Structure 1
Amino acid sequence: MTGGGLRRVDERLGLAVCRVSLSGRSLVTYARDHVTVRTPSRPDFRDGNTLDLIDPPDAADVARWIARFHDTIGVLGVPHVQLRWELPLAPDAPPEPPVADAALGDAARAQGLELAPLTVLLLDAPVVPPPAPVAIAPVPPPSAVDPQPTDRRWHAATVLYRYDAPDRDDPEVWRTWNEEFVAWSVDVQRELAAAERAQVWVAQRHGAPVARATLVHDRQGLAAVEDVIVHPVHRRLGIAAALTHTAVAAHLHVAPSTRVGIAAEPGGPADRLYRRLGFAPHATVWTARRV
Structure 2
Amino acid sequence: MTVLSLGFRSDLMLLGLQGSTVEQRDGHLAVRTPGNPGFYWGNFLLLAGPPAPGTVAGWVEVFRRAFPDAAHVAIGIDGVAGLAGHTGELAGAGLDIDRNTVMTASAVRPPPRPNEDAEFRVLAGDADWRAALELRVATHADAGIPGYREFAERHLTAMRRLQDRGHGAWFGAFQGGRMVSGLGVFGDGSGTVRYQSVDTHPEHRNQGLAGTLVHLAGRYALERMAARTLVIVADPGYAAIRIYRSVGFTDSETQVQLQRTPSPHHGTAEDGTLPNGTGRHSAP
Residue 8 of structure 2, aligned match among 6, 10, 15:
15
Q: Which amino acid aligns with 1:12?
A: S
- Residue of structure 1 equivalent to 2:282: none
* Offset of residue 239 of structure 1: 0.6
Q: Which amino acid aligns with 1:139?
A: L
SS of the residue 1:278 aligns to: coil
Match of 2:75 among 83, 99, 110: 83
**For residues 156 and 57 of structure 1, what CA distance do their matches in structure 2 show?**
42
Q: What is the TM-score with the length of structure 2 in the denominator? A: 0.81
Task: Indicate the percent of aligned positions where both proteins have the same amino acid.
Answer: 26
More helix by percentage: 1
Show the 5 A alignment for 1:32-71.
Answer: 33-71=27-65
Would you say 1:136 and 2:141 are equivalent positions?
A: no
1:106 matched to which residue of 2? 88
Residues 80, 176 of structure 1: CA spacing in aligned structure 2 closer, same or farther, 3 A cutoff?
Answer: closer
Say yes or no: does 1:74 pair with 2:67: yes
* Equivalent residues of 1:120, 1:261 under 8 A apart: yes
Q: Secondary structure at the match of 2:102?
A: strand
> Structure 2 stretches of 5 or more lacking a match?
262-284
AA aligned to 1:82 is: A
Residue type matched to 1:63 in 2?
Answer: A
1:161 Cα deviation after fit:
0.6
Aligned AA (2:129): W
- State the 1:33 CA deviation: 3.6
Give the match for residue 273 of structure 1: 243
* Alignment partners' CA distance in 2, 1:127 and 1:268: 21
For 1:109, give the aligned amino acid: A
More divergent stretch after superposition (238-247 vs 209-218): 209-218
- Checking the alignment, whether the CA contact within 8 Å between 2:189 and 2:225 is kept in structure 1 is no
Report the counterpart of residue 223 of structure 2 in structure 1: 253
Greater mean alpha carbon deviation, residues 255-264 or residues 194-203: 255-264
Distance of aligned partners of 1:159 and 1:221 in 2 relative to their CA distance in 1, 3 Å threshold: same
Q: Partners in 1 of 2:247 and 2:147 — Cα distance? A: 31
The CA distance in 1 between the partners of 2:170 and 2:100, in whole Å, is: 23
The alpha carbon displacement at 1:253 in A equals 0.3
Query: Cα offset for 1:212?
Result: 0.9
SS at the partner of 2:86? helix
C-alpha distance after superposition, 1:60-88 (max 9, x if no partner):
332332233233x224x222221111443
Distance in 2 between residues matched to 1:31 and 1:54, nearest whole Å: 10
Larger radius of gyration: 1
| Alignment match, 1:94 | none
Q: Quick one: distance in 2 between partners of 1:86 and 1:164?
A: 29
Q: Deviations over 1:39-60 (max 9, x none)?
A: 2344322111111123222233
Distance 1:277 1:195, change over 3 A: same
CA contact (8 A) 1:17 1:262 kept: no
**Pair 1:191–1:207, CA change in 2 (3 A):** closer
**Relative to structure 1, is the Cα distance of residues 164 and 198 closer, same or farther in structure 2, using a 3 angstrom cutoff?**
farther
Deviation at 1:242, TM superposition (A): 0.3
* Structure 1 unaligned regions, length at least 5: 1-7, 90-97, 141-149
Q: With structure 1 as the length reference, what TM-score do the two structures score? A: 0.79
What is the one-letter code of the residue matched to 1:136? F
Q: 1:252-290: CA deviations, max 9, x gaps?
A: 102344321111111211111111111111222222122
How is 1:1-291 mapped onto 2 (pairs within 5 angstroms)?
9-22=2-15, 23-31=17-25, 33-71=27-65, 73-75=66-68, 77-88=69-80, 104-129=86-111, 130-132=113-115, 133-140=117-124, 150-165=125-140, 167=141, 178-291=148-261
